[in-house]
Amino acid sequence: MKVDIRIAVTDGWIDTPDGIKHYIFGFVDITGVPEAEIFNYCGKAELMAPPLVFIVGDEVYLTLTNIGTPTRPDLDDPHTIHYHGFPNQIAFYDGVPEPSIAVPVGRNFTYYYKPLNPGTYMYHCHQEPVEHIQMGMTGPLIVRPADYDPDYPEYKTAYGHGTGTEFDREFYIFLSELDCHIHDLIAKVQDPDWTEYKPTYWLINGRSYPDTITNPTPCCLQQQPWSALIRANAGEKVLLRFVNLGFQQHALQLPGTVFKIIGMDAMRPLGRNGEDLSFFKNVVYISPGQSTDAIFTVPDPFQGQAGFPVVLSLYNRNLNKNYTAGMVPGGMISQVHIYPPGTLPPQTAPNQ
C-alpha cells in the first residue's frame, strides 16, 4: 500500500513529575495538515516521537519538513530522519548528513522506504546525533508482517503466521534518558561538554513515573502523549516492544511473569539453518540502539472470581534509574494492570 506521511521537526517543552519543564527538539506528525497551517505546529515537538507503523511491502513516502525551533530562533540546524536498522538502505535515504542530504529550516525532503522485514525498529535524527538524539528526536518504528490481520489470532503476530509470535496486545516500551543540565544549556544557547553527560531523568515513552501511568491534563504532558501503562486481561499474550535510544544500557524487569524473547533488533533469533534460538528472560538487558520483542502471558490471579485490577511493576533493575532527579521514586517505572478475563475490549492500536 502507498503510505504518505509528513513529519515536522521543531522544538518544545516536556514535563517531569517534579514540576520542571525541559527543552527538547523533536518530531510531530503533520500528515494531511494544510500547508498554511503547518507553522501552527512550531514548538509542538513530541516525546516520544510519533510511532511509525508500516506493513511489509508498503511503499512509504515520508516527508520531513523543518519548521524551525521557536525557542531557539538563532538555531538554523538542518535535520534528518534515519530509519535505524533498515536493511540494504541506500545512503540517499539513510538520513546521515555527512554522506547525503539534510533538511534546512523551511525545506522538505521525502524519504522512500519499502520495508521487507517485520520487526521493531526505531528512527531518529542523524544530524549531530549526540545532541539531536539526547534532545528528543527519537521514536519507535514497527513493521508488521505481510500477513498481519488483527481479526484472526493466528495472524495477529509480530513476525508472521507460524512464527510463534502471536499476541493479544502490544506496547511500546521506549527507553531514553534526559540530562537536565544539558537541556538547560541548549535552551540557553550554550554548548555542553558531552563527555560530562550525566542523566537526571530516566524515561519510558518520554515520561518519568508516575507520569508513565497517568493521563495528560491541560497543564501537563501535552507534548508527551504516550502512556506506558500496560493494561491487559488475565491470560492474554502481551508483546512489549523495547527500544533503547538513550546513551546507557538498561535492564528492565517485570516480576510476576517471565519474558519470552522472540525478537532482537527486528530479527527473530534464528540460526543459519533456521534454528529457533528464542529464549526466556526475567530481565531485558538492552543497549543503546537495540530493540527487543518480548512476549509474556498475563498471569490470572482471579481464578474465575471478579476483582479489582491486580498490579505488576515494570522497572529498571539498574535501581538508581528509578528516581526523578535522584530524589523521589520515579524514572523508568511503569505498571501492568491485570483485569479479569474479558474485561477489556480488544486493542485496536498499541498502548491502549
Partner 1 sequence: MPTINLWATDGYISTPGGKSIYIWGFTDQEGGSAQLPGPTIIIKEEQPPAETVFDINLTNNLNEPVSLTFPGQKNVKVNGQRVQPQYNNGELVSLTNYALPGETITYSVTTSSPGTFLYESGTNPFKQVQMGLYGAIIVRPCDYEPHETGLCTAYGTGTGTEFDREYLLVLSEVDPAFHQAVKQGRDYDTRQFKPRYWMINGRCAPDTMLPDYTPQLPNQPYGAMILMEPGEKVLLRYAGAGIQNHPLHPHGHHTRLVGLDGRLLQNINNGEVNDLSYERFTVLAAAGQTCDQIYTWAGLGFDPATNPIPTTIPNLRNMSIGHLGWTLWSGSPYLGHKGELPSGMVSYNNAGEEYFMLHSHAELEITNWGAYPGGLMTMIAVYPPGTLGFNQGMLPTSL
CA 269/CA 11 separation, integer angstroms: 38
**Contact status: 64 vs partner 1 (CB under 8 A):** no
- Torsion, Cα of 244, 292, 299, 323 (10° steps): -20
**Contact status: 103 vs partner 1 (CB under 8 A):** yes
Considering the complex, state which of residue 84 and residue 241 has its C-beta at the smaller distance from Cu ion.
84
Binds partner 1 (CB under 8 A): choice among 53, 96, 220, 310: 96
How many chain residues are in contact with partner 1, going by CB under 8 A?
Answer: 62
Nearest CA to 85 out of 51, 49, 122, 116 is that of 122
- Footprint of partner 1 on residues 169-208 (CB under 8 A)? 192-197
Considering the complex, state which of residue 96 and residue 187 has its C-beta at the smaller distance from partner 1.
96
* 41 backbone dihedrals φ, ψ, rounded to 5°: -90, 0
Q: How far is the CB of 191 from partner 1 (least distance, A)?
A: 8
Residues 6+ apart with CB under 8 A from 309: 231, 337, 338, 339
Burial class (CB in 10 A: 0-12, 13-18, 19+), 154: exposed
Binds partner 1 (CB under 8 A): choice among 1, 19, 217, 272: 272
Q: Which three cell numbers stand for residue 42?
A: 512550531
CA 6/CA 291 separation, integer angstroms: 24
List, in sequence order, every residue forming a beta bridge with 232; answer none if it has no partner. 338
Binds partner 1 (CB under 8 A): choice among 22, 44, 84, 231: 84
- Footprint of Cu ion on residues 73-132 (CB under 5 A)? 84
List, in sequence order, every residue forming a beta bridge with 285; answer none if it has no partner. 251
CA 90/CA 171 separation, integer angstroms: 30
- Footprint of partner 1 on residues 275-294 (CB under 8 A)? 275, 277, 287-290
From partner 1, Cu ion, none, which one binds at residue 209 (CB under 5 to 8 Å depending on kind)? none
**Contact status: 270 vs partner 1 (CB under 8 A):** yes
Considering the complex, state which of residue 152 and residue 194 has its C-beta at the smaller distance from partner 1.
194
**Residues in touch with Cu ion (CB under 5 A):** 84
Binding residues for partner 1, per CB under 8 A? 59, 61, 78, 82, 84-85, 87-94, 96-104, 107-112, 114, 126-131, 133-134, 192-197, 247-249, 264-267, 269-273, 275, 277, 287-290
